[in-house]
Structures are given as C-alpha cells and as structure tokens.
Amino acid sequence: MINLQVFELVCFYAFAVITVGAALAVITLRNTVHAVLALVLTFFSTACIWMLAEAEFLAIALIVVYVGAVMVLFLFVVMMLDIDQEKLREGFVKFLPVGLIVAVVMLVEMLALIGVRAMHAQAMGVNPATAAGQSNTAWLGTALYTNYLLPFEIAALILTVGVVVAVALTLRQRHSAKYQMASEQVSVNPRDRIRIVKMDAVRPVEPVVAAAPEQESKP
C-alpha cells in the first residue's frame, strides 16, 4: 500500500510541473493552435490542483467554463484568423500529435486524481466545507451569498459595465439599413395588405374558336 500523503504530494508536484510547463508553452510556441491547446492543458492541470485542495466546484467550473466553452471559442477564433489556407487544410494531421499529447496527459491526470479521491487523503489541513458538514458547492454558495455578498454584487456591476461599453463601442446605427419593426408588423391591418376581390367561382369561357386556327397557321 502506498503512503497516501506521499502519493498526494507526488500528484501535486506532477500537476504543478505540468501547469507551469504548459503555461510556458503557451507563451513560447509559435503555432497559435498549439498555444491554445497548451492553454487548455494549463487550465486542466490547475483544475486538478484545485481538486486536490478539495475545491471541487471551482475545479469543475474551470473545466466547464474555460476548457469547455472559452477555449473552444479561442480555438475557433485562432483558426478563423489564420489566413494561410494550406496550413488549415493540413491542420488535422499536423496538430494531431500535440492534441494527442494534451489528451493523454489529461487522461493520466484524471486517473491519478480519481486514485487520490478514492483514497480520501487529507493532507491539506481541515477543509472549512468538511468542517461545516457541507458539500464544497453548498459551502461556497453560502459564503458567496453571506460574507462575500457585496463583492459578488460588484462583480455583477462590472459585468454590466462591460456589456454597456461593448454595446456603446460596437452599435452603429446606420440610416441606410433596413429594420424589421415587430410592433408595426403585429399591429398591421389585414385590409391594408390584402385586397379581397369578389368573383364568381365559375366563369363562362368565351368562345375562341375563331382565333385559334388563325394562330396555328402562322408559322
């Protein structure tokens, strides 16, 4: 049986080394796609370290939000900005090794993590969440909405300012542009748009017997 604390320490150092190495790769790699992939690895390893520190919610949020959403967006942007068409086409094979390495390292990290979690190691001191008899997420939520309520609200305010400024900077009202006015569309009177014409269902066909042969004989 391995000493639990030693194993946890080894895991921590391994994750830390990978985090720092990947972060270095982000700023040193010339290929932007590689750099983004390295950034993914940085986030993932950081999440693993947080998991070791029993901050499950933060770790999962980091993976779901950053790795899952933001980084994929990054990758799209980087790939879209890449003007070199040839590079793009050969991308899959070229990026495959790096992608594979990132994936393998992540897998190993996850396995190690599951191992540590399964053995319920307690090397990081008393976790306030455990001490309170709550899950990490519940404890975090309680702290966020009681002791840290004011900072939480101000963070919301900062996001509001971000949205306001983003709209102010990008919205250009062009007078030549055509807009749909939903309110006008809804409140339109059908009579203004469609003219209903009364006409007989059956109309006697006028005899055209006299004209037909004349047309046919022309060519």
Partner 1 sequence: MPTFNDILVLLPEFYLVAAACLLLLLDAFMKPEQRGVLHWISIAVLLVAIYLVIAGQPPETVTAFGGMFVRDRAAEILKVFSLLSVVLVFIYSRPYLVDRKLFQGEFYTVMIFAVIGVMLLVSAGNLVMIYLGLELLTLSSYGLVALNRDSPLSSEAAMKYFVLGALSSGMLLYGMSMVYGAAGTLDLAALHGATAHAGMPHLMLFGLIFMLVGIAFKLGAAPFHMWIPDVYQGASTPVTTFIASASKLAAFGMAYRLLEGGMADLAHYWQPMLAVIAVLSMAIGNLVAIVQTNLKRMLAYSTISHMGYLIIGLVNAGPEGYSAAMFYAISYALMATAAFGVILALARAGFECEEIDDFKGLNQRSPWMAFLMMLAMFSLAGVPPLYGFFAKYLVLQAAIDAHMLWLAIVGVVFAIIGLYYYLRVVKMMYFDKAEEGVLTKLQPDATLRVVLSLNALVLVALGIYWGPLLGWCKQAFVG
Residues binding partner 1 (CB under 8 A) = 146-151, 154-155, 157-158, 160-162, 164-165, 167-169
Question: For residues 177 and 197, which CB has a smaller minimum distance to partner 1 in the complex?
Answer: 177
Residue 32, token pair as written in the block: 């932007």
Question: For residues 114 and 154, which CB has a smaller minimum distance to partner 1 in the complex?
Answer: 154
Burial of 171 (0-12, 13-18, 19+ CB in 10 A): exposed
Tell me the one-letter amino acid at 127: N
CB 158 to partner 1: min, Å? 5
Count of C-beta atoms within a 10 Å radius of residue 129? 20
Rg for the chain, CA atoms, rounded: 33
CB 142 to partner 1: min, Å? 10
CB 111 to partner 1: min, Å? 29
Q: Please give the Cα distance from 92 to 38 (Å, whole number).
A: 16
Question: For residues 83 and 171, which CB has a smaller minimum distance to partner 1 in the complex?
Answer: 171
Is the separation of the CB atoms in 26 and 39 below 8 Å? yes
Is the separation of the CB atoms in 127 and 54 below 8 Å? yes
Residue 17, token pair as written in the block: 């080394």
- Terminal Cα-to-Cα distance of the chain (whole angstroms): 104
Burial of 13 (0-12, 13-18, 19+ CB in 10 A): exposed
CB 150 to partner 1: min, Å? 4
CB 108 to partner 1: min, Å? 28
Is the separation of the CB atoms in 60 and 33 below 8 Å? no
Question: For residues 69 and 166, which CB has a smaller minimum distance to partner 1 in the complex?
Answer: 166
Question: For residues 97 and 151, which CB has a smaller minimum distance to partner 1 in the complex?
Answer: 151
Question: For residues 28 and 160, which CB has a smaller minimum distance to partner 1 in the complex?
Answer: 160
CB 146 to partner 1: min, Å? 5
